[in-house]
Structure 1
Amino acid sequence: MNFFSVLIRILTIAIAFCILAGFVNSTERQARELNSGTIFTSEGWTIETQSGPGRLTIKHEGLGTILCDVQLNLEADGVLQELKQWNVEISGPRTITSSSRSGETGGPDRLLVRTIQPSSTWIFEPTRDCLRISSTAPGAVLTGQAPVSSARGLARLLDSDGAPVTWQGTGECAGTYGGAYTRIPSFLPRENPECMYFTLGQAGGSVFHSMFDRETNTAIRFTPQTRFSERAVGGEQLEFTMPLPGPGLVRLVPDYYTKVLGVPRYAPLDLSIFDRAPTVWCSWTSYFPDVTEDDIVKNTDWLAKHLAPYGFQYIQIDDGYDRIPGQFGPEGHHWIDHWNKNKFPQGPEWIAGYIKSKGLRPGLWLVPNGYAGAVEDHPDWYLSDKEGGYIRVYNTPALDASHPEVLGFLQELFGTLGGWGFEYYKFDGEFAVPAYAPRVDLTRRHDPTADPLETYQRRLAVIRKAVGPHTFVEGCPSGTPLNGIGHFNSYFNGQDVYNNWQGMFALFSSINANTFLNRMLVFVMPGEGVELGRLMSVEEAARKRSPRVIDNAREREDPMIGIGVTPAQARTLVSVVSLTGVSYPLAGVMPELPPERLQLLQRTMPTMPIAPMDLFSRGTEADWARFRHVRADDLIHHFPEIFDLKVAAKSGTYDVVALPNWRSDPVTKTVSLSRQLGLDAGEKYVAFDFWNQTLLGVVSDRMFVEVEGHDTRVVLVHRLLNRPQLIGTSRHITGAYSIQDLSWDAASITLQGLSEIVPGEDYTLFIHLPPGAPATSTPMASTGGNPIPVRKERKGDLLSVSFKSPESPVTWQVKF
């Protein structure tokens, strides 16, 4: 080998070494860049890694952050070991950016995270609407936090493998207009079908494995093993644990309400003006069309005195104000044109003003689809059948909304009503008549080419503009699909109630079927009003009520059992309405209400901003043909056996559990705190009976509660603390309404808070004392810096602290 050959060989080796060294250095530099902060993007998913602290953030376009501060863990013998030493690798044909290489291309289909000690590989594989997560290590567990807000929270989603039920409208469209029933399949969940879940604030629980994002109509399904903590961290994040016994999937379900649940339109309910469901008294079921000005005045006076201080709001005059028997023949309703001066001698503006003078808000029933006042002057305003006859809604010629002059008339109508002072409307017969009434001759419309549903949307937009955003509008769709979503504040999508226990089953059915819509798309109006009057025989009721009240009940049940409800039934009615967050309807002859029934209302008003966590219909149960010869006790239904309201508020994080007994015989209900309520197994909890204002004791795994026939026990369940803790108040069934501030000062051994009270009314705090708590306590209270008298009473481990003040709020403290 000559000199030149050796030199060439040496140079070749040197060059190769330099190239290899450069490649190694480049690879190490790239790894450092990636591991210092990788941003992995594929199929709309983004995963940000921080290997130093060992954290991941998982995002999706349109949804933002789904999971954050994600840690990789291995579980052994129930103990989690966090893995912190990471290497990140990218593979696949798509896009990658990093903190130092933003905008480069050539990256990933998968993100791999390799841990060193112990050795494991974690794989994140995104596809459209799905993120697959797996690990090579047994006992793999992800932990971290999930952002929550008023627009995103935990939910149970439709379980298509559950028991089938049907969500359906009433038979009004089919029976009156020759249309079809609206029937949409739904399912009861396989897990805990007997439970119905709600939330007040951002609370969690191990029974929830999904979230729903209101702004995008997107559901997020996590793995079935995922568990969320009971309470939010700082009110904006829930801690989660996601075991991975095998590959786990995080699935997105876009268009959830429309494509999965069958709702015809999606528009998240605007809560900026009306942030909770209303409280409304309606004249219909106690007066029917016989209602008079005097009836409205008497009920207004009573409601203003007894319930307005507790949050009651609206007086709604129902059908009967514009009809004079025999005067207008078959032409039907004229609304503002012919206000019935025999029954309302001082007129609409006066009665609206009177209601307002009492601190309440006036409302009115009407059917804007119909109007009899333009038949002679504007015959072209109306819908007709193929023979040229009128299409009627509520015995009134139906208007053709494709006619611009009809839209102008509606603007004028609601401008007049608003000028008179009305702030609430109940629209009956409210649907797109040409779309659902087959007898309508579409070719005879003013615009025969107009799409009926688009015309309906334009009409609703005109009405909403006329009444303004501060007017509350309730729609009653006559059994048709809910096409008014986005325009109505509430929907009454159920059968009419009547004035006894069995007549209230239509209200329970409406809550059962429709509450998944409540506060999400609209507020749910469950019925014309709860009946809380004392039980009367048919003979007594015939002497004290309009004949229509008796006749209405006789049409629905055979034999008729009377009018009114028992005390137990009244408790069930107010408990179910209040704890589900739906509109709170009243309809009785209020001045006749006994004091103990009044107290039921005062303890359950105002409505609270409660949202459903079960985002599916439990099915519609009210079928009057089936009810007519069947007692409520014998009806097979899907009403919940447990209503679980999860509270995260100033008053604490706890559950309010309502246990109804739908039958007349007493039962003992067993509640599993972990399986049914999603509370931590092995922990101890304090159970407080709200209605009886008694301590049930400390429970751990199961709770046994006896419930009398048709009654409901309401139990507040708090995690046991090793110090005195507030477990309820006398003011509100949720325990949350009146508490504006609450804190514990360990240094001074003092429980203190700020409460909004009803001036002049007794207010009681219920405090649990754990074993070893000081035997003595000193309560104090003041308002405006002035001390007020305080009373205390101790029964076992329950301390009651009571006071009354002419002003609100009240600052209080209990020093131990």
Structure 2
Amino acid sequence: MKSYLTRPQVRKNVSWLLFFVLLLLSSWLSISCGGKKQPAADSRTQVATKIPDRLPVRIADGTNKEVLVMTLGDIKTPLADGTFYPVEDRIVLNNGQEINDYFKTKLGIKFYRPLDKSIFPLPPSGWCTWYYYYGEVNQEEVEKNAVWLARNLKDYGLKYCQLDDGWQGRSLGSPVDYRDWSNVNQRFSKGLDSLARFIKGQGLVPGLWLAPHGQSNEEVVKASRAFLLTPDGQSPSSTWEGKFLLDPSKPEALSYLTELFTKLSADWGFEYFKIDGQPIVVDEYRQKQQFMASPGDPEQLYRRTLETIRQAIGPNRFLLCCWGTPLEGAGIFNGSRTGGDIVPAWEGFQVAAEATMKYYFLHNIVWYSDPDVMLVRYPLTQDMARAWASLQGLTGQALMASDRMYDLPADRVEILKRVYPAVDIRPLDLFPASRFKKIWDLKINHLGRQYDVVGCFNYDQTQSQGLEVKWADLGLEDNARYHIYDFWNKDYLGCVEKGIYVTIPPAGVRVLTLVKDNGQPQLISTSRHITQGWVDLESLAYEPENRVVRGRSRVIKGDPYELRFAFPRNERYLRIRRVEAPGYNFSLENHDGWATVTLSSQSNDTVSWEVYFEAGDVYNYPARTPAGLKAEIRSLNKVRLDWQPLYYLNAGYFIYLNGQPYLYTPVNCGELSGLNPDEDYLVEVKGAWLDGSTSEKAASLQLRLSTALPAEVYLSDLEPQYLVSDWGSPRMNRSAAGTQLKIGDRTYRSGIGTNARSEAVFDLGGIFKTFESEVGLDAASGGQGSVELKLFGDTKLLWKSELVKGRAPARKVRVKISGVKELRLVVEDGGDGPRSDLADWAEARVRK
């Protein structure tokens, strides 16, 4: 077609066209961005693909040994002992001292090298079949769960759908009989390649479990010529790993692994591999050298098998080792389990907590640590489910659910949504912990917001517990005011100095967010994730002249997104005047001293929002004086305080020690710790109001621990400094099995029931002269087991038993302990394993 436009006319029309395009683009940007110029996305949205060149580090506990510290973002804290340089494996302490080869020599990680995050910048977040279906899994159930995961948790960051044990040819009998990776169980008649395609079709990544070093099919063993054999053709290594074990010194073994993993990855389509029983493999290679074709260093031979697997699957597929902690695979594995198998009960949570205490120092530095899966289903209570989710969310370890997902009630799904995905958290504490720590402090620096998310754990299933959370113990400013927000209970607890006394339900957790009061309206929490801003908040700014907070947040369709604001303690009268979030529904609520805005979206989107504040009304109530103050001695440096609850309205209480503020408590009880038993103390309690005002008068008492104690004290009436066991849970006045204490034919009302190996440590303050007890194996051992008991005073061995076995009657112990400040009761395994080693320190007591 011929054009009738002259060149000037063409230029003129092009100019008008360009003008309208720019006008439309400008209008679109104005609508989508709320009419405001948006800042560039924060660099945090670009996930770190390498470990920082330097990291803050603690190499030992601080004053409060109950504190475990994690970091997220660029953290600076006075708790740090120095700086760790991961590439050099070197620590420079604050005093200038250097520690070279820290992981290799101090922590015993022989093959240490920094985690390569270039392909997997974050720990895996997904689902595993094992802890619901165990070996009785089938394709239909996996597919149902995959569909549910894609619909309900994929938007929250869940990525992996992993098939565990039970897919292979045979699933009956003992494990040694069904380690055949050449056949697929008839329950997967469509083939595992079909399952992998189905999972990918849901937008998820398929994962697969196996124990590749073992084999139970004798035909495969004969054909491959890759396994350890005795001269007469028998297996010298029949273990959980399989009836036969690969000979790592044979080229045929490496060819076997290459062929196997090429089939599983390239042919079947799996992209995540969990290889099990690895510590067994290493131990067998150490012990079965004589059956190898070419014996060599067992650890290097083992690593050669891992490198072969890695070459077969390539760098873009995730490799997780399992069952125990095979440190010999460091530098090859992307991740590793760090403990035993969990169970669907509180004891399962404790398995995960123990793995975290022992090996969290490896996480996000050597590999992504995996304390095993998280369960939230019944019979776990909601408090237990929250505690398990908090363990995962606050540490950033590998996050795998393992319930029948489409059966979960809404309240349990809600818990899962608040911890997916695992984020880039790593330890400040580069050392193993010898106790179940109760205060887990995650320090976060994001968009100029520096705040702490603190998990307060109660490991006791039988009773609630109180816990002192002191700002100084967390490296915060002792006399500064901090806003406190209760994440799981969605409640603002106030703004106080010094710290807070927290009550925790049995087998439960309280997660508190601490934000320093800066004298302005502050965003103190968001609802999307337990990190409260890290995964959702893209920008944040406050304009004091207009009293407006502006931000930009990523939201998930159908998930109400809540912004929580707190006001300065001396400006509690503030309130939200209006909210702007063009194109989105919102609601707001004003409370005394804080407020919330809830945004909702019908799609996954990024929302620009503005919240305007103004002066409002405020209600004050005069603080009243409490009465009936009492002190109960819990140990030689700690007392519990109780008083009558105030009849009148109040916002809690402030505790004072020798005239100085000590701690805030929202309830009519509290604790004092770190006391000297030979000093006199004046203890006072005043009623408090939201503005920090207190009653004019106080309930008070005088206290001196050494004189308040009776002449004889049972250790079960004192709170130990710590009480830990490698197997089971020690208990006061019950056996470790939960039964009445019984040694031989005699039962006891008081004492400490433990299991090997265990330690119970008490602070005695040097004021007692004698220790007495009756010791032995508890009747719940069933006449089995053997133990050795030891008593230490200030690290010195004071007494030890002979080997205690079977149903022997109790042995009486009487030991002089004059001047002993720390008394340690130890139970060790007698050499036959810890499972039946239920030992009792019956009627354990000290005398002045």
Corresponding residue to 1:653 among 450, 454, 458: 450
Shift of 1:210: 1.6
**Mapped pair 1:278 → 2:124:** yes
Instruction: List alignment gaps of at least 5 residues for structure 2.
Output: 1-49, 614-848
Shift of 1:388: 4.8
Q: Which residue is equivalent to 1:791?
A: 587
Provide, for residues 120-158 of structure 1, a one-character-per-residue CA deviation record: whole Å limited to 9, x for no partner.
Answer: xxxxxxxxxxxxxxxxxxxxxxxxxxxx9823121111x
Shift of 1:326: 7.2
Provide, for residues 317-362 of structure 1, a one-character-per-residue CA deviation record: whole Å limited to 9, x for no partner.
Answer: 1111113357999764221x2111x211211011111111111111
Provide, for residues 588-609 of structure 1, a one-character-per-residue CA deviation record: whole Å limited to 9, x for no partner.
Answer: 1222211101100101111110
Q: Which residue is equivalent to 2:776?
A: none
Relative to structure 1, is the Cα distance of residues 434 and 204 closer, same or farther in structure 2, using a 3 angstrom cutoff? closer
Q: Which residue is equivalent to 1:700?
A: 497
Shift of 1:779: 1.0
After TM superposition, the structure 1 stretch with the greater mean CA deviation from structure 2, 318-327 or 406-415, is 318-327
Secondary structure, aligned partner of 1:352: helix
**Mapped pair 1:516 → 2:345:** no
Provide, for residues 616-635 of structure 1, a one-character-per-residue CA deviation record: whole Å limited to 9, x for no partner.
Answer: 1114xxxxxxxxxxxxxxxx
Provide, for residues 57-93 of structure 1, a one-character-per-residue CA deviation record: whole Å limited to 9, x for no partner.
Answer: xxxxxxxxxxxxxxxxxxxxxxxxxxxxxxxxxxxxx
Alignment of structure 1 residues 185-224 onto 2, 5 Å? 189=61, 191-223=63-95
**Mapped pair 1:396 → 2:243:** yes
Q: Which residue is equivalent to 1:358?
A: 202
Answer yes or no: is the 8 Å Cα contact 1:207–1:678 preserved in 2.
Answer: yes
* Letter of the 1:523 counterpart: Y
Shift of 1:659: 0.6
TM-score of the two chains, using structure 1 as the length reference: 0.65
Answer yes or no: is the 8 Å Cα contact 2:67–2:437 preserved in 1.
Answer: yes
Shift of 1:732: 0.9
In the aligned structure 2, how far is the partner of 1:313 from the partner of 1:384?
Answer: 41
Corresponding residue to 1:686 among 467, 483, 487: 483
Provide, for residues 376-400 of structure 1, a one-character-per-residue CA deviation record: whole Å limited to 9, x for no partner.
Answer: 6436311135765212342331111
In the aligned structure 2, how far is the partner of 1:328 from the partner of 1:682?
Answer: 61
Shift of 1:191: 2.6
Q: Which residue is equivalent to 1:725?
A: 522
Q: Which residue is equivalent to 2:276?
A: 428
Corresponding residue to 1:301 among 147, 150, 171: 147
Answer yes or no: is the 8 Å Cα contact 1:332–1:397 preserved in 2.
Answer: no
Q: Which residue is equivalent to 2:548?
A: 750
Q: Which residue is equivalent to 1:628?
A: none
Q: Which residue is equivalent to 1:36?
A: none
Provide, for residues 566-608 of structure 1, a one-character-per-residue CA deviation record: whole Å limited to 9, x for no partner.
Answer: 1111111101111011111211122221110110010111111
Q: Which residue is equivalent to 2:343?
A: 498
Secondary structure, aligned partner of 1:338: coil
Answer yes or no: is the 8 Å Cα contact 1:428–1:478 preserved in 2.
Answer: no
Answer yes or no: is the 8 Å Cα contact 2:364–2:426 preserved in 1.
Answer: yes
In the aligned structure 2, how far is the partner of 1:316 from the partner of 1:151?
Answer: 33
In the aligned structure 2, how far is the partner of 1:812 from the partner of 1:508?
Answer: 39
Corresponding residue to 1:670 among 463, 468, 485: 468
Alignment of structure 1 residues 74-473 onto 2, 5 Å? 150-157=52-59, 159=60, 189=61, 191-223=63-95, 250-324=96-170, 332-335=178-181, 337-340=182-185, 342-372=186-216, 375=220, 377-378=222-223, 380-385=225-230, 388-390=233-235, 391-393=237-239, 394-419=241-266, 420-431=268-279, 433=281, 436-437=284-285, 439-440=287-288, 442-448=289-295, 450-473=296-319
Corresponding residue to 1:534 among 347, 371, 378: 378
Answer yes or no: is the 8 Å Cα contact 1:200–1:611 preserved in 2.
Answer: yes
Relative to structure 1, is the Cα distance of residues 194 and 327 closer, same or farther in structure 2, using a 3 angstrom cutoff? closer
Give the number of equivalent residue pairs: 555
Provide, for residues 274-313 of structure 1, a one-character-per-residue CA deviation record: whole Å limited to 9, x for no partner.
Answer: 1221113221121111111122112212222111111111
Answer yes or no: is the 8 Å Cα contact 2:175–2:242 preserved in 1.
Answer: no
Answer yes or no: is the 8 Å Cα contact 1:198–1:644 preserved in 2.
Answer: yes
Shift of 1:314: 1.1
Relative to structure 1, is the Cα distance of residues 194 and 253 closer, same or farther in structure 2, using a 3 angstrom cutoff? same
* Letter of the 2:77 counterpart: G
**Mapped pair 1:805 → 2:601:** yes
How many percent identity over aligned positions? 31
Q: Which residue is equivalent to 1:608?
A: 423
Shift of 1:651: 6.7
Provide, for residues 679-705 of structure 1, a one-character-per-residue CA deviation record: whole Å limited to 9, x for no partner.
Answer: 122211111111111111001112122
Alignment of structure 1 residues 11-90 onto 2, 5 Å? none
Answer yes or no: is the 8 Å Cα contact 1:368–1:430 preserved in 2.
Answer: no
Answer yes or no: is the 8 Å Cα contact 1:386–1:439 preserved in 2.
Answer: no
Corresponding residue to 1:525 among 349, 370, 384: 370
Relative to structure 1, is the Cα distance of residues 379 and 325 closer, same or farther in structure 2, using a 3 angstrom cutoff? same
Shift of 1:190: 5.6
Provide, for residues 530-561 of structure 1, a one-character-per-residue CA deviation record: whole Å limited to 9, x for no partner.
Answer: 221122xxxxxxxxxxxxxxxxxxxxxxxxxx
TM-score of the two chains, using structure 2 as the length reference: 0.63
Shift of 1:760: 2.6
Corresponding residue to 1:779 among 579, 593, 599: 579
In the aligned structure 2, how far is the partner of 1:208 from the partner of 1:257?
Answer: 17
Shift of 1:613: 0.5
Shift of 1:404: 1.4
Secondary structure, aligned partner of 1:286: helix
* Letter of the 2:71 counterpart: T
* Letter of the 2:146 counterpart: T
Secondary structure, aligned partner of 2:214: coil
In the aligned structure 1, how far is the partner of 2:175 from the partner of 2:105?
Answer: 46
Answer yes or no: is the 8 Å Cα contact 2:346–2:507 preserved in 1.
Answer: no
Relative to structure 1, is the Cα distance of residues 432 and 588 closer, same or farther in structure 2, using a 3 angstrom cutoff? closer
In the aligned structure 2, how far is the partner of 1:262 from the partner of 1:328?
Answer: 35
Q: CA RMSD in A?
A: 2.2
